[in-house]
Structure 1
Amino acid sequence: MRIRMDWRSVTFDWNRARAFLVTAEEGSLSAAARALKLAQPTLGRQVEALEAELGVALFERTGRGLRLTPAGHDLLDHARVMGEGGRALSRAAWGQTEAIEGDVAISASDAYAGYLLPPILERLHRSEPRIRVEIVVSNDLSDLSRREADIAVRNVRPSEPDLIARRVRDAQARLFAAPAYLDRLGRPADAAGFSAAEFIEIDAAGSLMGLLNARGLTLTPENFPYRCRNFTVTWEMVRRGLGIGILDDRIGDADPSVERAVPGFAPVDFPVWIVAHRDIARSRRLRVVFDALVEGFGG
């Protein structure tokens, strides 16, 4: 279906187009309203106003939410191009200042945000006190193109062409436990002696159990009475002697309340990347923070 209109007669409202775009991507008015931080009736009126303005129905209402009409499908790609253009304009305007001041959002995992990032931020604040930092704590990848953050600390190399990245180090994750817990186990001398130990799983897929069994342990789900995706919570559980957990050894080795567990266990190697949008080249403020993170995490 092709839509022909005289665009000179249209008074265009980007807010309405954005409402349509986000509703189409989220699949419902309620989800789109949450994403845009709007009241659902307000968002609904914006979508209805765009439909009236264009003279076409963009959505069909179904029992499970909304479904794009053929006209909606035709217009969705155009709305996406406009959305990306708007984000590019925002990024360009955000980065034009040469002053080393203003807001910078850094995305990092809970463990890195809680244990490794604070001393880096302390040094940064002493040298650049006019920079205000927001910490976006997430164990998922923040979308830098959509400005969920300005800079991210990641453990995977980005594949998006509009991002730049610096690999700052190859980190190692090791198994740690509280001394009292290892005492209760009798401090086994090798991996085989940990067959009755308790571990803290990191996800519902049993990733840690699979990793440990591939490295010589013989564990079953009964060895994992706890599961937690939040590494800072996991770490507190380890410190209190609930079981054995895995974490970056820079964090574990710096904590006197725990020690390395499972003698002979080979560490798990993983990279640390500092990632930002290419528009960072336009902003001294972002470059300063990026460089501080490269130095801090690479040291």
Structure 2
Amino acid sequence: MKKYDSPTPPSVNFVRNVDWNLFKVFYEIGRQGGIGSAARALNKQQPSVSAALQRLESFLDTHLCTRTARGIELTVQGHQVMAACEAMYLQVQSCARLKGADVAHVSGSLTLSLISNLYLVPRLTTVLQEFHRRYPLIDVRLDVAPWRRVLNSLKNGEVELAFCFADTRDSNMMFVPLTHQLQQIYCGPQHPLFGKPPVSPNALEGDAFVISQDEPTAYVDFRQRHALGRQIGGVAENLQERMWLIQLGMGIGILPKPVVEASNLASVLWPLLPEEEALKSTIYLLANNDGIRSAPAQLFLETAMEHLNAD
């Protein structure tokens, strides 16, 4: 299947690549009204402060100030950057209150992007329960989406933590196994093998397949390896709808065994493969490796690592 990777937004690339110290220097230049005064306040040499200003202007591709006999005057763009620096200064200043503070009183919001039906994974349930017990003032928001969108939301910086499949091992990301899941091929009651003993994957070569628009890479590789799904009988992004189409006889399809067994369609979906020949895939807790996270995200990651690494 064709993969659709959305490009990283320019604003996210900017945040990742800019040297944040340049904003600290510019804040002092604007506050002190001159490069010499800023250098003394920062305990730096004047040439290094002047070079930092030039680097920031080069990075932003705009002039931030003009030199006058009285010092420097901010341009329109300079005033905009100064306002942003003042906001950053206040936010960082507020972090001083965290020094020696009881982390149990940390508040805020944490958004987790994840694929559907992970409520069936006991390890994740345990992590969420323990996280809420430790940090009751942090509200947790679940953004449930198809696996590719979950992965892209993390890569693009829209969320800090995610739970999903992974198509490749990206060196910029942290991969912590959450659970290993058996992915079985199922059929509906109209299929001639319904209720019969399991068969090898190659015996299903001629069957129509129900798939998602953007299958996990492991699904695609498994189908191609066994020449499965050359005829598509149905397409549905949502897992429940794929189960429905399979039950209606529009084709066979790969489904996670724990989800099927917990579904009200379990009695009308029949596993076709011996378990030793079925696909096994891993769902991961994913995080970017840059280490820059909000307090709620860092606390959740620490809680999760305690439980997931202990097993």
TM-score category of the 2 structures, normalised to the smaller one: 0.5 to 0.7
Q: Hey, what does 2:114 align to over in structure 1? A: 108
Once the two structures are TM-superposed, the CA of residue 3 in structure 1 deviates from its matched residue by 6.6
Separation in 1 of the partners of 2:183 and 2:206? Answer: 22
Separation in 1 of the partners of 2:272 and 2:137? Answer: 43
271, 274, 277: which one pairs with 1:260?
271
Once the two structures are TM-superposed, the CA of residue 136 in structure 1 deviates from its matched residue by 1.7
Deviations 1:98-127 (A, max 9, x none): 225431100112354x75498558735873
- Aligned in 2, Cα 1:206/1:226: closer, same or farther, shift over 3 Å? farther
Q: Hey, what does 1:13 align to over in structure 2? A: 80
For structure 2, the 5+ residue unaligned runs are 1-57
* Contact 1:252–1:259 (Cα < 8 Å) also in 2: no
SS at match of 1:13: helix
SS at match of 2:259: helix
143, 151, 154: which one pairs with 1:136?
143
SS at match of 2:158: coil
183, 194, 199: which one pairs with 1:173?
183
Q: CA RMSD in A?
A: 4.7
- Aligned in 2, Cα 1:116/1:248: closer, same or farther, shift over 3 Å? same
Deviations 1:147-201 (A, max 9, x none): 52232113234432xx5442334433221234x2445768474445434533212
- Aligned in 2, Cα 1:264/1:289: closer, same or farther, shift over 3 Å? closer
Q: Hey, what does 1:52 align to over in structure 2? A: none
Once the two structures are TM-superposed, the CA of residue 250 in structure 1 deviates from its matched residue by 2.9
* Contact 2:208–2:229 (Cα < 8 Å) also in 1: no
The normalised TM-score by structure 1 is: 0.53
- Aligned in 2, Cα 1:143/1:203: closer, same or farther, shift over 3 Å? closer
- Aligned in 2, Cα 1:198/1:120: closer, same or farther, shift over 3 Å? farther
Deviations 1:211-250 (A, max 9, x none): 32412x5553xx3121233334323433555432213333
Separation in 2 of the partners of 1:120 and 1:181? Answer: 39
Tell whether 2:211 aligns with 1:201: yes
Tell whether 2:223 aligns with 1:246: no
Deviations 1:56-83 (A, max 9, x none): xxxxxxxxxxxxxxxxxxxxxxxxxx9x
SS at match of 1:229: coil
- Aligned in 2, Cα 1:235/1:15: closer, same or farther, shift over 3 Å? farther
The normalised TM-score by structure 2 is: 0.51
Deviations 1:26-71 (A, max 9, x none): xxxxxxxxxxxxxxxxxxxxxxxxxxxxxxxxxxxxxxxxxxxxxx
SS at match of 1:9: strand
265, 270, 274: which one pairs with 2:281?
270
165, 171, 180: which one pairs with 1:159?
171
Separation in 2 of the partners of 1:211 and 1:249? Answer: 16
* Contact 2:222–2:279 (Cα < 8 Å) also in 1: no
Deviations 1:1-36 (A, max 9, x none): 98766273224214999xxxxxxxxxxxxxxxxxxx
SS at match of 1:225: strand
SS at match of 1:6: strand
- Aligned in 2, Cα 1:153/1:244: closer, same or farther, shift over 3 Å? same
* Contact 1:103–1:133 (Cα < 8 Å) also in 2: yes
For structure 1, the 5+ residue unaligned runs are 18-81
SS at match of 2:129: helix
SS at match of 1:203: coil
Tell whether 2:240 aligns with 1:228: no
SS at match of 2:162: strand
Percent of pairs with identical residues = 13
- Aligned in 2, Cα 1:263/1:166: closer, same or farther, shift over 3 Å? closer
- Aligned in 2, Cα 1:218/1:134: closer, same or farther, shift over 3 Å? closer
The aligned amino acid for 2:112 is I
- Aligned in 2, Cα 1:184/1:261: closer, same or farther, shift over 3 Å? closer
Alignment: residue pair count: 221
- Aligned in 2, Cα 1:182/1:264: closer, same or farther, shift over 3 Å? farther
